[in-house]
Amino acid sequence: MAEVSFWANAGPVTDVGAWASTVDKVPADPAAIREVVTHLVFHYRSGGDLAQHGIAPERLAEVDLRSARAMLDRLCADGAGLSADRPASERVVGGCRDFAVLFLAIARHHQIPARARVGFATYFQQGWLLDHVVVELFDVEVGRWRLVEPQIGDDFVPVDGERFDPLDVPRDRFLTGPKAWLEARAGVREPERFVVDPDLEILGTRSWRYLRHNLLHDLSSLRKNEMLLWDEWGLMDSSRPPRGEELEVLDHLARLTADPLCPLENIADWAAKPGFAVPPTVTGYSPAAEGPRRIDVSMLLDDEIEFD
């Protein structure tokens, strides 16, 4: 698969910029990269109370850092390297997407083909499929894409007690956005079980609206435009569920991108369609801000793909 090289090169979100020499010190090995990244982010929802971990309340705004370079600016400003076992107060405040972006930045810096997959995890809360982002890495030796979990530590115990290899996550433990969509449409999974958080009673964060949301976010990530999970654009309209002909269009997209070997050309074509393409300005629903905001993301959209 010659085209996997597309995912071995950084895009605007995962470019490490001036921190190249710092990233060089992280071994070019997925296990080593994962070990480093699990210590770089303090999860704003599941990490615990900010104050109890010595994190000032205003630092919640770090969840809106969009690029690996901006996160590295925060992490390495004091001269610290990336291999240290950092206390919570010295980590960047973020979410699952940020673990993935930092993993991608380091992996791509070492020319390892890797991409973010946006979907739902089964291993955090019993009976629920929670909004989550992992990494999909191309294993050259066996010629396949495998899922890598960059957030959980080695001591993590899944809610059902059944451990798995975080460097090769079973695809029934993490469902990519397209696979989740297809299973819900086929009646294999209840759409109401797909949520950001079971206790978050906001229509746009659950069921069909959010299944569509993550299907489109996954497409964007495959295109190497790794957006914040609270970004919304195009068909991703949280005010209404998908309906009518839109369902058939989304079915078609899901069938294509559920396959890890979906050709890059197909991904590029879909990611350029009106309603699917990430526009220069998106609507953001950040947990660090009140109400929706219009956000200019034009500087972080990937360049055109060149096919051989």
Mean pLDDT (the chain, rounded): 95
**205 vs 79: CA distance, rounded Å:** 39
Work out the pLDDT band at 2, boundaries 50, 70, 90: low
Judge whether 307 lies within some domain: no
- Quick one: which H or E segment has residue 43? strand 41-43
Cβ–Cβ < 8 Å for 78, 72: no
pLDDT of residue 308: 53
Q: In whole angstroms, what is the distance from residue 107 CA to residue 195 CA? A: 29
Is residue 254 helix, strand or coil? helix
Tell me whether residue 306 is in a domain.
no
Domain that holds residue 205: 2-300
**Does position 1 have pLDDT exceeding 70, yes or no?**
no
pTM: 0.97
Q: Is residue 308 part of a domain?
A: no
| Whether the Cβ atoms of residue 264 and residue 226 lie closer than 8 Å to each other | no
Structure tokens at 281: 């300005």
Using CA atoms, how far apart are residues 139 and 147, in angstroms rounded to an integer?
10
Kindly give, in sequence order, each residue whose CB lies less than 8 Å from that of residue 193, ignoring residues fewer than 6 positions away. 127, 128, 129
Q: Measured on CA atoms in the order 113, 38, 71, 43, is the torsion positive or negative?
A: positive
Q: CA 296 to CA 144: how far, in whole Å?
A: 36
Selected residue with higher pLDDT from 40 and 46: 40
For residue 272, is it within any domain? yes
Q: 139 pairs with which residues across the strands? A: 144
Give tens-digit pLDDT for 234-289. Answer: 999 988 999 999 999 999 999 999 999 999 999 999 999 999 999 999 999 999 99
Among 36, 27, 30, 29, smallest CA distance to 68 is for: 36
Whether residue 110 lies inside any domain: the answer is: yes
- pLDDT of 305 above 80: no
The token duo for 49 is 């109370």
pLDDT digits (tens, 9 = 90+) for 7-38: 999 999 999 999 999 999 999 999 999 999 99
| Neighbouring-strand partners of residue 283 | 232, 294
Domain count of the fold of the chain: 1
- Decide: 272 and 203 in contact? Cβ < 8 Å: no
Token pair, residue 278, equals 């990430």
Rounded to 5 degrees, what are φ and ψ at 168? -155, 70
